[in-house]
Amino acid sequence: MTGGLLGAMRAVFLRELLVFWRRSTEVMAALVFFVIVTTLFPLAIGPERRELMLVAPGVLWVAALLATTLSLNHLFASDYQDGSLEQLLMSPYPLSAMVLAKIAAHWVLTGLPLALLSPLLAVQMALPTKAIGTLVGSLLLGTPTLTLIGAIPAALTLGVRGGGVLVSLLVLPLYTPVLIFGAEAVAASAGQGFASVAHLSLLGAFLALALSFAPWASSAALRVSLD
């Protein structure tokens, strides 16, 4: 039966990848948003490298967080409209596992490219080279947590008026711990070099917590929304 479950999860995962890939403009939108927002900061602050370096960890992390939030609207919305979400509810496998597969696919197409693209923007923001590894690592650990937590409000606001803005309102306060430790990890490694291990392991702990809690909560949320 476990093989069946994993098989079903893989099927959902691959289907999601394909569907998201077909709507690649939406996937790209989050990425482009990330790039544009980080580009705006030097224009607002000034090209002084020392000043940019000071704010770089925070700017990069806030931009990544906002880009993730922006992409949350596409997580369930189209499946909700075309009815395939209700089919998912009917499936014999636990809904939380299916939701986890969906979230994983979503992250592969939004969070992962975002983390891979970040070194380029780090250079733009005058982040020291030694901190770039930590930046990518913290984003690789942090963005899945953001997507996992964000799936809950995304599921809660399905078909609700003003859904898009509401999702950001609901999700941003919940993001504060990830933001604090993510940006702090980058700042720490830009300063002394190795102090970031503790922050990264805390980000890992958040990810583990979110993995155990969020799929269950968002499937409960989906059941409420589709009731």
- Sole residue written with tokens 């030694």: 130
Q: Which stretch binds another protein (CB under 8 A): 19-27, 79-87, 115-123, 218-226?
A: 218-226
CA distance 8 to 98: 8
Which is closer to another protein, CB of 28 or CB of 165? 165
Show the CA angle centred on residue 213, arms to residues 227 and 114, nearest 5°: 100
**Residue 171: alpha-carbon gap to chain centroid:** 11
- Within 133-152, which residues bind another protein (CB under 8 A)? 149, 152
Task: Tell me how far CA of residue 6 lies from CA of 9, 91, 129, 220, in angstroms.
Answer: 5, 13, 40, 21
Classify residue 160 as exposed, middle or buried by CB count within 10 Å of its CB (0-12, 13-18, 19+).
Answer: exposed
User: At its nearest, how many Å lie between another protein and the CB of residue 189?
Assistant: 14
Please tell me whether residue 192 binds another protein under the rule CB under 8 A: no
Please tell me whether residue 55 binds another protein under the rule CB under 8 A: no
Virtual torsion, Cα 42, 67, 148, 76, nearest 10 deg = 180
Please tell me whether residue 21 binds another protein under the rule CB under 8 A: no
Contacting residue, 53, 170, 204, 211, with another protein by CB under 8 A: 170
HEC profile for 24-85? HHHHHHHHHHHHHHHHHHHHHHCCCHHHHHHHHHHHHHHHHHHHHHHHCHHHHHHHHHCCHH
Contacting residue, 8, 29, 89, 220, with another protein by CB under 8 A: 220
- Within 69-128, which residues bind another protein (CB under 8 A)? none
Within a 10 A sphere around the Cβ of 174, how many other Cβ atoms? 14
Contact 151, 218 (CB under 8 A): yes
User: At its nearest, how many Å lie between another protein and the CB of residue 166?
Assistant: 6
Contacting residue, 32, 180, 197, 208, with another protein by CB under 8 A: 180
Contacting residue, 3, 47, 92, 173, with another protein by CB under 8 A: 173
Which is closer to another protein, CB of 96 or CB of 225? 225
Contacting residue, 6, 32, 169, 208, with another protein by CB under 8 A: 169
Please tell me whether residue 197 binds another protein under the rule CB under 8 A: no
Q: How many residues at the interface with another protein, by CB under 8 A? A: 28
CA distance 124 to 38: 8
Which is closer to another protein, CB of 138 or CB of 157? 157
Q: Where on the chain is the footprint of another protein (CB under 8 A)? A: 149, 152-153, 156-157, 160-162, 166, 169-170, 172-174, 176-177, 180-181, 184, 206, 209, 213, 217, 220-221, 224-225, 227
